A and B are shown apart, each in its own frame.
Chain A
Amino acid sequence: MSEKKGFTPEKTTLLFINNDSEPLFSKKNRALLTDPMDDNNPITVQVLGICSALAITVQLKPAIVMSLSVMAVMGASNVIISLLRNLIPNRIRIIVQLVVVAAMVILVDQILRAYAYDVSKELSIFIGLIITNCIVMGRLEAFALGNGVWKSFLDGIGNAAGYGFILIVVAFFRELLGSGKLFGFQVIPDFIYDMGYVNNGLMLLSPMALITVGIYIWIQRSRNRKLIEKN
């Protein structure tokens, strides 16, 4: 087994929780969950996972299913990699990570096909493409390889939640303004259409997803000044 740089040797057991006396939801652990929602959001701050944010945010339902799938994949693969972190040879760690993520993605895909066939068909290739989502690999590399199981689990769930949150916000506006619906039900009443309102066709095209994310980043940074890079 090769020693990796930056690793803090800790009492590693294959136990789920380390024996140190940190409570399950200590302040640090809670930060793992809440940080990715705002200060360290994978999409708006780290700018990862943009492609899927463009592709599946035309409607709200696929966006939610996608967020849940990513959450399942990230939680599970973070846990597995964290369990294996001291067994994986450094040189082939990317391959090991890929195998684990791919296995998780296939599981999620099969479950969706079995229980939510319509959504699965709608999402088509994008479920399979979770494996290429930079957020998943990024968190494995940056966190799960160097942290305990419980923390890695929280980190995976937190980052997936931050990703999903942006997806849902973008999908909400795109479906509402682009087709006047939410979850496939018409929410803009007929009399507004009679008054001459027309759905915005640009909202259905993917450039608008990018612009919506951009507007979100703009608002986020003007509210949270510490995110603005100094140069």
Chain B
Amino acid sequence: MGFLRKKLDEIKRPFRKGEKFEKFAPAVNAFDTFLFVPNHTTKTGSHIRDAVDLKRTMVTVIIALLPALIYGIYNTGYQHFTQLGSDFSFLDAFIHGAWKIVPMIVVSYVVGLSIEFAFAVYRGHEVNEGYLVTGLLIPMIMPVDIPLWMVAVSVAFAVLIAKEAFGGTGMNILNPALTARAFAFFAYPTYMSGNKVWVSEASSMDGVSGETILGTLAANGNINYSMFEMFQGSIPGSIAETSTLWIIVGAIILITTGIGSWRIMLGSVLGAAFMGFLFNLWGANALMSFSWMNHLVVGGFAFGVVFMATDPVSAAQTAKGKWIYGVLVGIFCIMIRVFNPAYPEGVMLAILLMNVFAPTIDHYVIQGNINKRKKRWASTLKTA
């Protein structure tokens, strides 16, 4: 270890203060901190010693994402071969999926990180780790057949407009990954909806019914997937959103490590279940009479709630606020799904909407608490 440290310090010499390449120090430091924990501490005031820093938090989220991603890679191949009607082994499906998805992940990281590094060098601050998660989330919520340059443009838009314009990691109001998806959704609608985009290489084939379940329902069609298939995830959809089973595994990782907020997740599920149940009673069209239990397992609901709504930056911060935020995400998600068939995937818009309102929710929760304590103080004065 000592040898590696020495070697790194040698490499870093020209980037020190007052040396030739001082400007590029943030870029070098970013790579350095991947290998070694930085040894600087807070300069002023009290501080808490904790092994969990931003980098470890982000790595934990990535570990939580992996089950869903690996299943997504397999499912991409599975959908491709079953729609084609050919025999295939598990390995075939996996290789086909990886062939499609790995380039997307590479494009997302290369584009996003180069923008982050450019801004860090230009503004003279350190590179933040936030993009590690965002860069993996973006390809996971895209349709599999989207051209790579669209992924690149969406990533650039998200990093520039949703993040850097507001001041970088930790300052954004909207979740950058969802902003990327929303951008692609409105900019290139034909690549983001319809029945061909969800199965890889389907546009050249006839007779493919690769529509997502919500898309079918919005067109008042019949779905021929069982509840178990929807839960396990062998259905068409964005790359990693289909398998509720593996998303729950990710959710357990997030909750046990204390990184994802269980209040938001549980609140969203309750809100969506309540709203779905109300619409079941109403039952005016196919989407309304779609069972509330099924609403929870199809589409991006589970993925959005576990990995997007819990984003610590853009979500509400107070405990009570998290409940309100979560419940409203669930309610709006089902409402958008049911009332606006043009946007069958309501969870993206619901979370973005609530991201905007999160600071307001926090403000009123905090004000309510202040008022409550003021009253309590006044009453103790009276009795005393």
Contact = CB atoms under 8 A, between A and B. Distances in A.
A201 B191 CA distance: 11
Contacts of A215: 161
A200 B161 CA distance: 16
A197 B188 CA distance: 11
Contact of B186 (A196, A201, A214, A218): A201
A215 B189 CA distance: 24
Most chain A CB neighbours (cut-off 10 Å) among B149, B186, B187, B188: B187
Nearest to B153: A200
A201 B182 CA distance: 12
A190 to B, nearest CB: 17
Interface in B67-123: none
B38 interface: no
Interface string A50-67: 000000000000000000
Interface in B131-171: 147, 149-150, 153, 161, 165
Nearest to A201: B187
Interface in A161-216: 196-198, 200-203, 205, 211, 214-215
A223 to B, nearest CB: 13
Nearest to A222: B122
Contacts of B290: none
Contacts of B147: 196
Contact of B189 (A196, A197, A201, A211): A201
B165 A214 contact: yes
B186 A198 contact: no
Interface string B190-222: 110000000000000000000000000000000
B357 interface: no
Nearest to A200: B187
Contacts of A200: 153, 187-188
A99 to B, nearest CB: 41
Nearest to A197: B149
Nearest to A202: B187
Interface residues of A, number: 12
Contacts of B191: 198
Interface residues of B, number: 13
Contacts of B149: 196-197
A215 B162 CA distance: 12
A107 B183 CA distance: 41
Nearest to B188: A198
A201 B150 CA distance: 12
A87 to B, nearest CB: 49
Contacts of A201: 186-189
A205 B185 CA distance: 13
Q: Max chain A CB contacts within 10 Å: which of B153, B161, B165, B186?
A: B186
A100 to B, nearest CB: 40
Contacts of A202: 183, 186-187
Contacts of A218: 165
Given A196-B147, A196-B149, A203 B165 contact: no
A201 B153 CA distance: 13
A146 to B, nearest CB: 38
Contacts of A197: 149
A89 B191 CA distance: 62
Given A196-B147, A200-B188, A214-B161, 17 more contacts: A196-B149, A197-B149, A198-B150, A198-B188, A198-B190, A198-B191, A200-B153, A200-B187, A201-B187, A201-B188, A201-B189, A202-B183, A202-B187, A205-B186, A211-B161, A215-B161, A218-B165
**Ordered nearest first, which 10 A-B pairs have the shortest CB separation?**
A202-B187, A202-B186, A200-B187, A201-B187, A196-B147, A198-B188, A201-B189, A218-B165, A201-B186, A211-B161
24 contacts: A196-B147, A196-B149, A197-B149, A198-B150, A198-B188, A198-B190, A198-B191, A200-B153, A200-B187, A200-B188, A201-B186, A201-B187, A201-B188, A201-B189, A202-B183, A202-B186, A202-B187, A203-B187, A205-B186, A211-B161, A214-B161, A214-B165, A215-B161, A218-B165
